[in-house]
Structure 1
Amino acid sequence: MSFQPEKPLIVQSDRSILLEVENPFFSEARQALNLFGELVKSPEYIHTYRITPLSLWNAAASGLSAQQVIDTLQAYSKYGVPPTLVKEIDEWMGRYGLLRLEQAENQLLLLCDDPLTLEEIIGFRQIQPHLDKRITPTSVLIKPDSRGLIKQELIKLGFPVDDRAGYLQGEHLAISLKSRTAKGASFALREYQIQAIDSFHAGGASSGGSGVLVLPCGAGKTVIGIGAIARLQTATLILTTNATSVKQWISELLDKTDIAPELIGEYSGQKKEVKPITVATYQILTHRRKTTDEYVHMPLFSKRDWGLIIYDEVHLLPAPVFRMTAGIQARRRLGLTATLVREDGCEEEVFSLIGPKRFDLPWKVLERNGWIAQAHCQEIRLPFEPRLRQQYSGATSQQKYRIAAENPRKLDVIKRLLNRHQDGRILIIGQYVEQLTQIAAELGVPCITGRMAERDRERLFQQFKNGEIHCLVVSKVANFAVDLPDANVAIQISGTFGSRQEEAQRLGRILRPKSQENEAYFYTLITRDTSEQEYARQRQIFLVEQGYRYEIIDLEQLS
């Protein structure tokens, strides 16, 4: 194919893709790439994507074909698509659906239309413990308790399984969505929320019923989960990140459905209720006194005949819950998240045990439609005092990051930003408790950390919602599932190294739509020419992929 300089992509045979930021087709090419590629790095002028087997399998599970992926690359590529890559895309996407799990006469079968491929599969040593016997040239009987385990092993071998074995109906639960909330406001699912539920449910077919819905913070993932419960009319176990989130799920259920309060249970450190709808934390499920002890609360998975299990913030799912999930594959499983990025690299576990990505709504699409606030992201780079620069130079890599993160000059910048947003509802977010408490004391505002009692956290969050408090200093306890809809300014002073998921969650704290000016401001304070600057670049990758641009300014430019 001839060189076409006006196009924005360079597609390479090593599965990497270079995207020109200044090209007129940048935005539409980026949106197309997000369906099947992963953003690796995003410097100012060239963004680098890569195609992986998992990114292609997720695309295939959502209905995209290999030819559509190839056509997209060809449509935007300056030099065409290398034949070797065309072949790989064809091969990898062809593997999704090649192996299927189905039920026949209460038996679990692994099916493959190609007898030679099935022969190869059953020859793998790690697969054999899960097999019972060969039935036909294209089918093999699987042991009843191996449904999840064999999917885990096969995806490691490069063979994703399309699980069509169906689900238990679960205990019936009559539940309907209200048309008005408890405060009298009209309520109905938004169009994209209905689409997300439809994608998961698939009309009740065995092709649906498990998978992950990816939507921005502020898009109403809790409401989507509640809509799925109402669609299925079944007893549901909801797993979430912390006690605050448990209370928010219960509050939303009571506000937006006709469910009676006595049918909702809280299973946490404070209460151990098991009701037709039970909301629990990951922490309580994985609690044990000693590392050699059993997980005493894991039997919650079998305490009722659950028809649906919802994994809130599925990207944070701990390993013991993965292991338990492997044994409950006959239950419908719904994962909710703003990002499928896992810092531990366990995306394949999510795919095989929770299910593939069923729905992914770009953040900027919701922003354009006014469903989330328009966000302005700014990275402010600060200098070091000479004394601290010398201390930094002689420190270990981990010490260097903390020294840079705790740069005392950040306090002055915070004060200037507070003055800029005098009418704002402001969250100052950081990693290090000592730094946060010192800043809170200097500013005379409350500080919320994990050391604070749950009831005191709830009281301060409520005062912030009510407008009694306009500024809070918060640690990473506020990263997840804290509903502060009026927050419109976030000042990030330190974080968990290069965590992309944390960056997304923190921006998400301020993205709930605003009743008046629907805008939000996200500031990140960085010490210039330090490891903190490099970690910031890593943290921003996911949000850049979603279409956000970080304006980078030096302290001297701050007005």
Structure 2
Amino acid sequence: MDNGKACIVQRDRTVLLECRHPHFELAREKLSCYAELLKSPASFHTYRITPLSLWNAAALGWTATMVNDSLQSISRFDVPVNLLEDIQQLISRYGQLTLEVDTIVPQQLILKSSEPHILEEIMGYEDLLSLGMRQRSMTEVTLHQERRGRLKQELTRIGFPVLDLAGYHEGQPLVFSWREDFPGLRDYQKQAVKAFEGMPGSGGSGVVALPCGAGKTVVGMAVMEKLQCETLILTSNTTSVRQWIDEVLQKTTLTASEIGEYSGQKKEVKPVTVATYQILTHRRSKESEFQHVKLFNERSWGLIIYDEVHLLPAPVFRATADIQATRRLGLTATLVREDGCEQDVFSLVGPKRYDMPWRQLEERGWIAKVDCIEVRVAMPPEVKEQYLCAENKYKFRWAAENPAKLSMIKNIIKRHYDCTILIIGQYIDQLKMIATVIQAPLISGMMSQQERNDLYAAFRQGDIPILVVSKVANFAVDLPDASIAIEVSGSYGSRQEEAQRLGRILRPKSNGKRAYFYTLVTRDSKEEDYALRRQMFLIEQGYEYLIQNASDEEPVRNAGEQLQVEEDASLL
């Protein structure tokens, strides 16, 4: 045993990381490259090495030897031999199958493997046979090119990720350049674009993961500029559509006549078209067709950009399976999906091509320094009684809407009286009450897009110091000077949502100040359990949640100050 190392690596592919170990940060950074964080209690974090985490690592250049050496360097005990063998087997599967164009029959693709037993095993799967696969030789199988996406999806599902070397059509050319006043790409943005290009034959599809505020939109435009082709951009909401259009107009020589908005308000199809996921999945009834999915074939797109790719809805996955000959770039702050469809992103959009830890960007000044503070609030006796008597399915909401949180909100606002503050929540009745009491405007999905834009603009200009926002502000809202976020309620244990909400305050501040992310959680309730899950992604990125147990009489202190906490509520 070597106590100088921070981890215990177990046979079942789980890794325990000791939080108070002096080499915690180094081990955490290594594990995040090829393992997923499962649990994050105060003493040990639990990671799991999964097939998908290893295949994404392989796409970034990791070999089985590199993963095994990395584990040995952080493991307190010898790494179990069977685990090393598992890693070797799983990583070796990435690239064992390749997909190429059939030079004899142009409409066909060839699935190749140098290992005949692999193709023999694959041909035994009924779902794959339904794709019309035909065995040409011991090492080659043919199928129609229209089945390209479905094949990759099914192969990933059964544990055989395919390396797609079938290439892409160029799309309609579109000539443009950066504007003269564009300051240029940051070094990590250049690296992301180069990683997306990949090696000859292997690039052109995949995901770039960067935090909110790090310039994912600029990475998307840089890929567009590199390829010089007509582009379809899909994003999460109309606010984001307008932000993309503004960014493209401000930073490139493209003109308004070349950029179209395809949303609930407008239906413009131009050389660069920016659309919402919602409009693509709109239909008149459950039995009707998705009438706007045809947008994928409206022009000869050379590139499709999936902004906030972790939000990709099922109908868009299905459409994406049919356009595998078009280059595809996914942009996201987190590949975590609450529906468990990470494999579909991997197979249909592409593997992770570039990822940079949030804390590294923070250290270099590209995103704001943030302190994350969880304030645990007691329930008033009458609410506690209602909570205890409630059916299990209603307990979380009783805890989330704890009225005692209002005093904490006032406390935090008083503490940060000279800052711009976002109060973010899940339940409209709760948010209405808060907005009324603190006399701040509320933005929700019931408000028109123009009203939302007006309030966002007033907040940016400093005319409104505090905004109360529902989950409509979780994604793609550019509020660069917001420096305080107060989360009062959320979607159960959504790690994805926690990452996005922190992202609202990650842009570097013009005054150089730190940002603060407060999460209000009802003590001794189901909300505490969900809070632990929500924090996992950010903890994996290197953030620490400081826990403060507070009552109405206690002041909320900044993270850098001495906090009175219970013994079991130390740094997570």
Q: Please, what TM-score do these two structures have when normalized by structure 2?
A: 0.95
Q: Deviations over 1:422-446 (max 9, x none)?
A: 1101000000001101111111110
Separation in 2 of the partners of 1:164 and 1:122? 21
1:95 paired with 2:90, answer: no
1:134 deviates by: 2.0
- Which letter maps to 1:135? R
1:427 paired with 2:422, answer: yes
In structure 2, the partner of 1:184 is: none
1:80 deviates by: 1.4
Q: Deviations over 1:39-61 (max 9, x none)?
A: 00111111110000000011011
Separation in 1 of the partners of 2:269 and 2:171? 15
- Which letter maps to 1:156? R
1:22 paired with 2:28, answer: no
Match of residue 261, structure 1, among 251, 256, 260:
256
Q: Deviations over 1:114-159 (max 9, x none)?
A: 1121111122111112234222221111122100001111111111
1:285 deviates by: 0.3
Q: Deviations over 1:264-323 (max 9, x none)?
A: 000001110000000000000000110000000000000000000000000000000000
Give 3-state SS (helix, strand or coil) of 1:273's partner: coil
Alignment of 1:167-246 (within 5 A): 167-180=168-181, 187-202=183-198, 205-246=200-241
Give 3-state SS (helix, strand or coil) of 1:130's partner: coil
Alignment of 1:363-442 (within 5 A): 363-442=358-437
Give 3-state SS (helix, strand or coil) of 1:131's partner: coil
In structure 1, the partner of 2:309 is: 314
1:73 paired with 2:71, answer: yes
Q: Deviations over 1:221-272 (max 9, x none)?
A: 1111011100110100000000000000000000100101100000001110
Q: Deviations over 1:323-366 (max 9, x none)?
A: 00000000000000000000000000000000000001100000
Q: Contact 1:131–1:140 at 8 Å: present in 2 too?
A: no
Separation in 1 of the partners of 2:7 and 2:132? 45
In structure 2, the partner of 1:461 is: 456
1:72 deviates by: 0.4
Alignment of 1:321-340 (within 5 A): 321-340=316-335
1:548 deviates by: 0.4
In structure 2, the partner of 1:296 is: 291
Give 3-state SS (helix, strand or coil) of 2:8's partner: strand
1:507 paired with 2:508, answer: no
For this pair of structures, how many residues does the alignment match?
551
Separation in 2 of the partners of 1:35 and 1:338? 15
Separation in 2 of the partners of 1:464 and 1:443? 16
Separation in 2 of the partners of 1:514 and 1:23? 33
Q: Contact 1:179–1:188 at 8 Å: present in 2 too?
A: no
Give 3-state SS (helix, strand or coil) of 2:130's partner: helix
Q: Contact 1:244–1:481 at 8 Å: present in 2 too?
A: yes
Report sequence identity in percent. 56
Comparing 393-402 with 328-337, greater Cα deviation is found at 393-402
- Which letter maps to 2:375? I
Separation in 1 of the partners of 2:280 and 2:555? 47
Match of residue 471, structure 1, among 451, 466, 477:
466
Alignment of 1:143-162 (within 5 A): 143-162=144-163
Give 3-state SS (helix, strand or coil) of 1:154's partner: helix
Separation in 2 of the partners of 1:136 and 1:295? 40
1:6 deviates by: 1.2
Give 3-state SS (helix, strand or coil) of 2:384's partner: helix
1:69 deviates by: 0.2
Alignment of 1:338-349 (within 5 A): 338-349=333-344
Alignment of 1:28-67 (within 5 A): 28-67=26-65
- Which letter maps to 1:40? L
Separation in 2 of the partners of 1:188 and 1:211? 23
Q: Contact 1:73–1:80 at 8 Å: present in 2 too?
A: no
User: Any gaps of 5 or more consecutive residues in structure 2?
Assistant: 557-572
Give 3-state SS (helix, strand or coil) of 1:224's partner: helix
Q: CA RMSD in A?
A: 0.9
Match of residue 278, structure 2, among 279, 283, 288:
283
Give 3-state SS (helix, strand or coil) of 1:180's partner: coil
Give 3-state SS (helix, strand or coil) of 1:127's partner: helix
- Which letter maps to 2:424? I
User: Any gaps of 5 or more consecutive residues in structure 1?
Assistant: 182-186
1:141 paired with 2:142, answer: yes
Separation in 2 of the partners of 1:546 and 1:16? 18
1:179 deviates by: 3.4
Alignment of 1:353-364 (within 5 A): 353-364=348-359
Match of residue 267, structure 2, among 259, 265, 272:
272
Give 3-state SS (helix, strand or coil) of 2:537's partner: helix
Give 3-state SS (helix, strand or coil) of 1:17's partner: strand
Separation in 1 of the partners of 2:132 and 2:283? 33
Separation in 2 of the partners of 1:144 and 1:161? 15
Separation in 1 of the partners of 2:252 and 2:163? 33
